[in-house]
C-alpha cells in the first residue's frame, strides 16, 4: 500500500504556469500530493486530468475548499483572483503559496498578510527567481559583506516584442497592470531582496502605451486584442528609500531595446558593486579596482520546484515563510506608486502606515 502523503494540496488555476512548472514541481515532493484543481476552463481541467492524473476538478475554488479538506493551496490564477482565492483559502485553514504578484495593491497584500498572521498559517509569494543559482551566489556574496551599504540600484525587465497575448495579462480587470506587474515585479523583488528590503518613501514614475495599440512592433508571441488592451506596455520609476538609498526601474513588453529580453539588476554599494544574473562584480583594494565574476555552483534544481520545496519545508518545520508578505508589500508599494505617479504627475509619498519598516 502506498504511503499516505502528509499534505493535501489544492491548485487554483490550471493554466500555463501551473501545468508547466508548479504541477511538475509538486510531483517531486514526497510529503505532499495535489488532490484537486479548480479552474473556470474545462479545457484546462481536462489537460490537468489527462497530464497529471488529478481526477477531482472544480470550476469554483470555493467548492473545492469546502469539499476537499486541504492543508494548503497553490494559486496560479490571473492576478485579480489572487486576493479572493488567498483569503478564502486562509479562511478554510489552508496555507497559501501564491504566484506573483500576491496582489496588485498594498491594501490587498496587507489584508491577506494580516489574515495569515492571525490564523497562524504560512503565506508565501512565489518569487522563483530568488532560487536561481546566480541569485543565491550573489546573495551569499552580499551576506559576506562584500557589497557594503547600497546607495543605488538599477533594475531592468524589458522585452523587444514579447507581449503576452492572453486576456489575463492585457486586460487590466484581470491583471491589474502590464509589464510592471508581470515581469517588473521579478527584477524589482530581486534587487530589494539583495538590498535587504529597505523601506520606500517616495516614488516618481511613468506608465504608458507606446506600441501595443498599433502595429509598428509585431509581437513575437502572436497577435493580441488591441481593443482589449488596457494596461501599459512601458513603465519606469525612480524610488527613494528611508535609509537614503535610491533605485531606478525600467520595464516593458514592446520597445526598441538592443536585447530581445533583459532581466537584470545592478547594485552599487560602498564596498563594491554587483550585477544579477551575470554575477559580475567590482570592488577596490588598496586604491585599485578589481573586476570579476562569481562562480555559480552547478545545480539541476528547477527554481519553481525549489520554491515549492521551501514552502513545504516551512509548513512541516513551522519556520517563517521564505517570502513573507512584509517583503512583498514593499515591492507592490513601489509598483503601485509608479501607477499613482503617472495619474497625478507628481511624486508619490509612501506613508508610514502603508508598509512596515
Phi first, then psi, for residue 8 (nearest 5°) are -100, 125
Residue 355 lies in a domain: no
Residue 356 lies in a domain: no
Residue 1 confidence (pLDDT) above 60: no
Claim to verify: residue 138 and residue 277 sit in the same structural domain: yes
Residue with cell 531592468: 156
Claim to verify: residue 125 and residue 146 sit in the same structural domain: no
pLDDT of amino acid 112: 98
Claim to verify: residue 180 and residue 290 sit in the same structural domain: yes
Claim to verify: residue 149 and residue 260 sit in the same structural domain: yes
pLDDT tens-digit series, residues 277-317: 999 999 988 888 989 999 998 777 899 999 999 999 999 99
Give the CATH number of the domain where residue 83 resides. Answer: 3.40.50.720
Claim to verify: residue 199 and residue 61 sit in the same structural domain: no
pLDDT tens-digit series, residues 12-56: 999 999 999 999 999 999 999 999 999 999 999 999 999 999 999
Cβ neighbour number for residue 310 with a 10 Å cutoff: 18
Residue 2 confidence (pLDDT) above 80: no
pLDDT of amino acid 183: 97
Q: How far apart are CA 109 and CA 92, in angstroms?
A: 18
Phi first, then psi, for residue 243 (nearest 5°) are -85, 5
Residue-range definition of the domain harbouring residue 178: 130-302+331-349
Residue 307 lies in a domain: no
SS3 sequence, 14-46?
CCHHHHHHHHHHHCCCCCEEEEEEECCCHHHHH
pLDDT of amino acid 300: 76
Tally of domains within the chain: 2
Amino acid at each position: 500500500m502506498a504511503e499516505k502523503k502528509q499534505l493535501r494540496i489544492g491548485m487554483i488555476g490550471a493554466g500555463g504556469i501551473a501545468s508547466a512548472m508548479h504541477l511538475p514541481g509538486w510531483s517531486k515532493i514526497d510529503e505532499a500530493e495535489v488532490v484537486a484543481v479548480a479552474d473556470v476552463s474545462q479545457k484546462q481541467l481536462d489537460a490537468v486530468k489527462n497530464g497529471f492524473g488529478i481526477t477531482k476538478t472544480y470550476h469554483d475554488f470555493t467548492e473545492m475548499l469546502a469539499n476537499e479538506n486541504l492543508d494548503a493551496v497553490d494559486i496560479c490564477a490571473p492576478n485579480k483572483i489572487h486576493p479572493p482565492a488567498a483569503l478564502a483559502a486562509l479562511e478554510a485553514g489552508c496555507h497559501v503559496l501564491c504566484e506573483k504578484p500576491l496582489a496588485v495593491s498594498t491594501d490587498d497584500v496587507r489584508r491577506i498578510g494580516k489574515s495569515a498572521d492571525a490564523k497562524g498559517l504560512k503565506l508565501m509569494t512565489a518569487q522563483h527567481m530568488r532560487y536561481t543559482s546566480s541569485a543565491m551566489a550573489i546573495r551569499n556574496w552580499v551576506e559576506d559583506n562584500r557589497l557594503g551599504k547600497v546607495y543605488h540600484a538599477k533594475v531592468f525587465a524589458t522585452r523587444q516584442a514579447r507581449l503576452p497575448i492572453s486576456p489575463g495579462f492585457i486586460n487590466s480587470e484581470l491583471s491589474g497592470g502590464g509589464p510592471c506587474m508581470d515581469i517588473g515585479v521579478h527584477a524589482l523583488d530581486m534587487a530589494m531582496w539583495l538590498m535587504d528590503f529597505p523601506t520606500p518613501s517616495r516614488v516618481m514614475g511613468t506608465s504608458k502605451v507606446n506600441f501595443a495599440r498599433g502595429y509598428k512592433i509585431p509581437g513575437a508571441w502572436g497577435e493580441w486584442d488591441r481593443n482589449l488592451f488596457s494596461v501599459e506596455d512601458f513603465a519606469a520609476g525612480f524610488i527613494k528609500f528611508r535609509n537614503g538609498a535610491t533605485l531606478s526601474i525600467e520595464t516593458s513588453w514592446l520597445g526598441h531595446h538592443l536585447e530581445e529580453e533583459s532581466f537584470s539588476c545592478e547594485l552599487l554599494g560602498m564596498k563594491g558593486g554587483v550585477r544579477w544574473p551575470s554575477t559580475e562584480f567590482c570592488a577596490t583594494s588598496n586604491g585599485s579596482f578589481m573586476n570579476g565574476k562569481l562562480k555559480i555552483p552547478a545545480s539541476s534544481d528547477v527554481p519553481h520546484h525549489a520554491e515549492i520545496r521551501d514552502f513545504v519545508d516551512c509548513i512541516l518545520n513551522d519556520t517563517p515563510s521564505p517570502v513573507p508578505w512584509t517583503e512583498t508589500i514593499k515591492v507592490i508599494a513601489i509598483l503601485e506608486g509608479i501607477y499613482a505617479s503617472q495619474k497625478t504627475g507628481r511624486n508619490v509619498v509612501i506613508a508610514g502606515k502603508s508598509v512596515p519598516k
